[in-house]
Structure 1
Amino acid sequence: MLTRATPSRAKAAAHPAADEESPLFLGSVAKCFQVLEALNTAGRAVGLTELAALAQLDRSAVQRITHTLRVLGYLRQDPATRSFTLSGRMLEFGHTVLATDQLRERAQPHLEALNRRTAETVNLMELEGHDIVYVARYPSLHAVSVDLHVGSRLPAFCTAAGRAILSQMSDAEAVARLKAARRTAMTRHTVTDLAGLQQALALARAEGYALNDQEAFIGDLSVAAPLLDPAGQPLGAINIAVPTPRWQLDAVLARLVPPLLKTAAAINKELRYL
């Protein structure tokens, strides 16, 4: 049985620091989301003092924010422990995001077919800031090495999907994104140097798919292909992820890359009419 790994949820800022200096930027709203993100990252009930530390905010500010969010129905507070959790009302936002995502809608039947054909985990990811976000996931019937779900985030620079998306950008834009990202190694195999990453993007651009060999998680092999809008700009990527105890790299390339590319081509054909 494979060990399930929990992905790091630490996120780099998705917006340039210069944007925070704009007179349009509301610091109070930003603090509110710091609290929500801290609760989301914790994934459990959190008391006020700990929540202030996790959100890196003053306790009195967090007290006002949590009170407001509780009154509005976005937080629950345990009457005995006084700790906070996200409420079910937060699910409404996620449902709306998924329901209005045209890329997800167009890709869904193709991803389901790919999942049935390969019997392996198939995902749809989109780029947000320096991360990729899972917007659709069809798990394998076999044991998997990584426990992820819709909404999970991973660094783009060290994932197959992230590299597939970056490979379709101009060299200048891709390099700028890589330089701005926090390129922290997730395993001993993670490529973090700029030259190595540029080489990986060039290879992905030439071959039409990106490969990840245990750079995000030990025991995880992944291949991903980009999805493009009518102008040829990247909208996201699809990938197939498999565990190394059951798969060798040469088998992945021979048996999984062809159906992956065929599926990506079919989705891209539909995306021409968005």
Structure 2
Amino acid sequence: MAQAIAVARDGKRGRTSTAPTPADGDAQDGDRQFVTALARGLQVLRAFRDAAEMLGNREIAARTGLPKPTVSRLTHTLLTLGYLVHGEDGERYGLGPAVLALSAAFLRQNSFPQMAKPYLQDLATAVQAHVALGVLDGLSSVYVQLWRGQGQRITLSSEVGYRLPLARSAMGMATLAGMDEAQRAPLLARLRRDSGAGWPQLERTFLRCAREIAEHGYCVGVGVWHPDVNAVAAPIHSPGARGAFALNVSGPAFLLTEEVLRGDTGPKLIAAIGRMRALGIVD
């Protein structure tokens, strides 16, 4: 089975991880208000893909592209402020309690994930796949909530905090499609610049996904993020929520075939959104 898929049988889960996705570069040439040192510190925090992950300065430098001496100063500062903690070996770092405090503040401001929880848990169980709520962050969508089907035996190695690139995921395409033109244009400009020769294919994928969302409310991604993982995604809006959100249902390609996604999973996703809309949880 491919790297992206882990199999859980008889209550035992084996998990593998895929190669890390580099943090989104936020360099703002010519912006005199932009604080580069702060941006670099946030890049260090974004290098952690899992709450339990422990990284050394060398690994952080490799993930962020920052010089190792710079990383050493940043990790020292973040350690002092409580955003990082030392591992048992004293050489590696993990995320600290100050990061959790920021996450809690975000969730208090965006309470709809908690209100949506029973509907999305029911959806995950009905389709026996992962259901994730993601929010836009730079050129990625970041999982803020994740549900697995009760009794689900095949799982993907992703958790809350996992990042999916806008350019290579159904969730990313749905996030872009759900924005108004003023919000979307600068992101597409950055994707055009960063993708180079790959832009025509990326543009075709986005236009297809935008059409599917306009017609059906969801878009399908067949092997877009990983050749062995398929997904269906839909933009979602909630009154008072801050950020651009999307829902994603994903699973192994041999189970969630394109036929299943279009004929069963996608309609069930839209039905779940409809039930939440009827109660005013989402717009």
- Scaled by the length of structure 2, the TM-score of the pair is 0.76
Structure 1 unaligned blocks of 5 or more? none
The alpha carbon displacement at 1:271 in A equals 4.3
Kept in 2, the 8 Å contact 1:183–1:192? The answer is no
- Secondary structure in 1 matching 2:24: coil
Equivalent residue, structure 1, for 2:153:
142
2:133 to 120, 124, 141: 124
SS at 1:21's partner residue? coil
2:46 is the counterpart of 1:34: no
CA 1:37–1:208: 2 relative to 1, 3 Å: closer
**Does 2:17 align with 1:9?**
no
Q: CA separation of 1:73/1:200 partners in 2, compared to 1, >3 Å: closer, same or farther? A: closer
* AA matched with 2:18: T
Q: Distance in 1 between matches of 2:56 and 2:106?
A: 26
Deviation at 1:16, TM superposition (A): 6.9
How do 1:152-191 and structure 2 match up within 5 A? 152-171=162-181, 173-181=183-191, 182-183=194-195
- SS class of match (1:223): strand
Alignment of 1:43-82 (within 5 A): 43-47=53-57, 51=60, 55-57=64-66, 60-77=69-86
1:210-261 deviations in whole A, cap 9, x for unaligned?
1100110111111112212459x98422222121222332122222222111
Of 224, 234, 239 in structure 2, the residue corresponding to residue 225 of structure 1 is 234
Q: Quick check: which has more Rg, 1 or 2?
A: 1
Matched-pair contact (CA < 8 Å) for 1:75–1:86: yes
Contact 2:218 2:270 in 1 (8 A): yes
SS at match of 1:97: helix
**Larger deviation, residues 161-170 vs 123-132:** 161-170
- Separation in 1, partners of 2:85, 2:264: 48
Q: Deviations over 1:145-199 (max 9, x none)?
A: x31111111112332222222223345653542231234899xxx9843244223
Q: Using the aligned pairs only, state the percent identity.
A: 23
Q: Secondary structure at 1:193's aligned position in 2?
A: helix
Cα distance in 2 between the residues matched to 1:116 and 1:11 = 32
Relative to 1, partners in 2 of residues 1:54 and 1:199: Cα closer, same or farther, differing over 3 Å? closer
Pairing 1:77-88 to 2, within 5 Å after superposition: 77=86, 83-88=91-96
Specify the alignment match of 2:11 in structure 1. none
Tell me: CA distance 1:147–1:203, structure 2 relative to 1, closer, same or farther (3 Å).
same
Change (3 A) 1:8 1:62: closer
- CA displacement at 1:8 relative to structure 2: 3.5
Q: 1:58/1:246 Cα in 2 relative to 1: closer, same or farther (>3 Å)?
A: closer
* Residue aligning to 2:246: 237
1:185–1:207 CA distance, 2 compared to 1 (3 A): farther
| Distance in 2, Cα, partners of 1:45 & 1:235 | 29
Aligned residues: 263
Judging changes above 3 Å, is the alpha-carbon distance between structure 1 residues 35 and 164 closer, same or farther for their aligned structure 2 residues? closer
Unaligned runs of 5+ in 2: 6-16
**Structure 1 residues 2 and 203 mapped into 2: Cα distance closer, same or farther (>3 Å)?**
same
Contact 2:221-2:232 at 8 Å conserved across structures: yes
1:201/1:46 CA distance change after superposition, 3 Å: same
Alignment-mate amino acid for residue 73 of structure 1 = G
The verdict on how the C-alpha distance between 1:77 and 1:259 changes in structure 2, with shifts beyond 3 A counting, is: closer
CA distance in 2, matches of 1:162, 1:248: 20
Aligned twin of 2:13: none
Determine the structure 2 residue equivalent to 1:204: 213
Structure 1 contact 223–257 (Cα < 8 Å) conserved: yes
SS in 2 for 1:161: helix
